[in-house]
Amino acid sequence: MEKEISDPTLTVSGQRGPASHERRIQIIKSAHEHFLQYGYKKTSVADLAKAIGVSSAYIYRFFESKQAIGEAICSVVLGKFVVALHELASSDMSASNRLRKLYITLLDMSLEMFFNERKLHDITIAAVEERWCTTTQYHQTKYEVITKIIQDGRASGEFERKTPLDEVVMAIVETLYPFSHPILLQHPILLEQSEPEVLHQRAIAVSNLVLRSLAP
Amino acid sequence: MEKEISDPTLTVSGQRGPASHERRIQIIKSAHEHFLQYGYKKTSVADLAKAIGVSSAYIYRFFESKQAIGEAICSVVLGKFVVALHELASSDMSASNRLRKLYITLLDMSLEMFFNERKLHDITIAAVEERWCTTTQYHQTKYEVITKIIQDGRASGEFERKTPLDEVVMAIVETLYPFSHPILLQHPILLEQSEPEVLHQRAIAVSNLVLRSLAP
């Protein structure tokens, strides 16, 4: 039941010049630090150029716009999620256990991102709002991984086969949002209201509910 | 299996003077219109007083703060949700149909609020962020209504009785967020990405999944 899953490398728009150029990577790193400190929305390409000690024109040799730099950073962050999802999909665990682990993995990675890189919040929000291609690919991966797990569980007899596959996958994607959607989860106050342990309890309760719904 | 459900009247903090005072109601109405036009966050009590044609001191005779006015407005909006939830909980429909309708009711009311009162967005967000007591009561009602529906369904034999009731209710509350959480749903771009019909499809898919999980 192997299913082809999209390439984990995220395509990023607005990039120029060789991807591995030393200066290009340096710009991404400096921009990342700058955004962490001052926020994405408040920073212009001119601010960045000044902070890095190059001209704006020089930055434009590598990136079409501020968004292109944001996308490069976002693709690193979301790239980690995509890799983790792929690893989970192709692991040796039963389909039930992979599905259970999907909730905890997404929650833990989201919490880690939130606590360690709180200032990336507005990059993530901008990515969602402006539909950067990186987020589209992340969502596509999520769909593909869930589809694979359900198909495997149907093949192994763990899951029922009556409900249309698309409907099951669509519903499961929705049930993951409270544990992985940047707007919901990274909303600072929501997290402060909910301790990580409580979020874990809820994620487990939802994955149990989903597994009961899949019983043959 | 009748269960006592909390009073639909929402308690609102920071209110002064008689609740039915004509001037008080007029201030709420004017403030509502002013917030719709200019947004909650950008308006001060002094702005409001000027717009209504009274002194700030006069407003403070009825409300302790801007938040107290916001809460009064919010309680009107959320009060509609609370009434609808109560009606649903005590309707004649089977527990399964009530649960199914819960998703559609919350989605439809949220969409209506979103499209008709888009500028109330920041009042709702402020209410969630600052934990106004109105939202706490709304969440409590949601828990109570879901608990009642599950208990009724267990009593009638529609739903399984093995899983702890608390766990089932906790999980169902989570699955409702994508269709009713103001931050997720009212986020303008999210809604633009998702046509109401698509949101309906998803709500139905999730309610079907939840009902499969409840099968005895």
Over residues A117-129, the pLDDT tens digits come to 666 666 776 776 6
> Which tens digit of pLDDT belongs to each residue from A164-180?
999 999 999 999 988 87
Q: State whether A171 and B202 contact (CB < 8 Å).
A: yes
Chain A hits for B129, Cβ within 8 Å: 189
User: Domain residues of chain A, as ranges?
Assistant: 22-66, 74-214
Which of A103, A213, A214 would best serve as a mutation to test chain B binding (most B beta carbons within 10 A)? A213
Q: What are phi and psi of A63, to 5 degrees?
A: -135, 135
**Cα–Cα distance for residue pair A106/A111, rounded to 1 Å:** 8
DSSP letter at A15?
B
Model pLDDT, residue B179: 83
Q: Give backbone dihedrals phi and psi of B45, rounded to 5 degrees, phi first.
A: -60, -35
Is residue B69 within 8 Å of residue B31, measured between CB atoms?
yes
Q: How many CB pairs (< 8 A) connect A and B? A: 87
Q: Give the gap in angstroms from C-alpha B198 to the nearest C-alpha of chain A.
A: 11
Spell out, as residue ranges, where chain B has pLDDT lower than 50.
1-8, 188-189, 191-192
pLDDT tens-place string over residues A96-108: 999 999 999 998 8
Per-residue pLDDT at B171: 96
pLDDT of residue A136: 75
User: And the tokens for A5?
Assistant: 């899953």
Q: Residue A174 and residue B213: Cβ atoms within 8 Å?
A: no
Phi and psi for B63 in degrees, rounded to 5? Answer: -135, 135
Bridge partners (DSSP) of residue B15 are B63
Which fold does the domain A22-66 belong to in CATH?
A: Arc Repressor Mutant, subunit A (1.10.10)
Is the domain defined by B68-214 classed in CATH 1.10.357.10?
yes
Residues of B with CB under 8 A from a CB of A: 128-131, 160, 163, 167-168, 170-172, 174-175, 177-178, 181, 183-184, 187, 189-190, 193, 201-202, 205-206, 208-210, 212-214
Start-to-end C-alpha separation, chain B: 18
Handedness of CA B13, B18, B19, B21 (dihedral sign): negative
Q: Say whether B184 and A189 touch across the interface (CB within 8 A).
A: no
For residues B123 and B114, give the distance between their C-alpha atoms in angstroms, rounded to a whole number.
12
- Residue of chain A with shortest Cα separation from B127: A189
Q: What's the distance, CA A186 to chain centroid?
A: 13
Domain A74-214 has CATH 1.10.357.10: yes
Per-residue pLDDT of chain A (216 residues), as tens digits, is: 333 444 445 666 677 766 667 788 888 888 888 887 787 788 889 998 988 888 999 999 888 888 888 888 877 777 888 899 999 999 999 999 999 999 999 988 888 776 666 666 667 767 766 666 667 788 889 999 999 999 999 999 999 999 999 999 999 999 998 887 665 555 544 544 567 788 899 999 999 999 999 999
pLDDT in tens, A74-87: 777 778 888 999 99
C-alpha triplet B5, B10, B16: angle, nearest 5°? 145
Q: Residue written as tokens 């719904």?
A: A213
At B197 the pLDDT is: 83
Rounded CA separation A205/B71 (Å)? 32
